[in-house]
Amino acid sequence: MTLPDSGPEEYRQPAQERVSQRPAGALQPHTAGVVRNGCPAPSQEGSGGGCLSSLQRIQPQATSPDTWDLKHLVVDEDHELIYCYVPKVACTNWKRVMMVLTGRGKYSDPMEIPSNEAHVPSNLKTLNQYSIAEINHRLKNYLKFLFVREPFERLVSAYRNKFTLKYNSSFHKRFGTRIVRRYRKNATQDALLSGADVKFKEFAEYLVDPATQRDGPLNEHWQTVYQLCHPCHIHYDLVGKYETLEEDANYLLRLVGVGDSLRFPSYAKSTRTTDVMTAQFFSNISSQQQAQLYQLYKLDFLMFNYSTPSYLRLD
Q: What is the mean pLDDT of the chain?
A: 83
Q: Given the DSSP bridges, would you call strands 238-241 and 28-29 parallel, antiparallel or unpaired? A: antiparallel
pLDDT confidence of residue 43: 44
pLDDT confidence of residue 105: 75
Distance from C-alpha of 27 to C-alpha of 34, rounded to nearest angstrom: 13
Least trusted range by pLDDT, from 16-30, 136-150, 155-169: 16-30
The larger pLDDT score, comparing residue 72 to residue 196, is at 72
Is 201 exposed, middle or buried, given 0-12, 13-18 or 19+ CB atoms closer than 10 A? middle
Total Cβ atoms within 10 A of residue 109: 11
Give domain limits for the chain. 9-150+224-256, 153-219+274-302
**Residue pLDDT, tens place only, 13-71:** 445 555 555 544 456 654 444 566 677 765 444 433 323 222 222 233 445 666 578 99
pLDDT confidence of residue 60: 34
The proportion of the chain whose per-residue pLDDT surpasses 70, expressed as a percent, equals 79
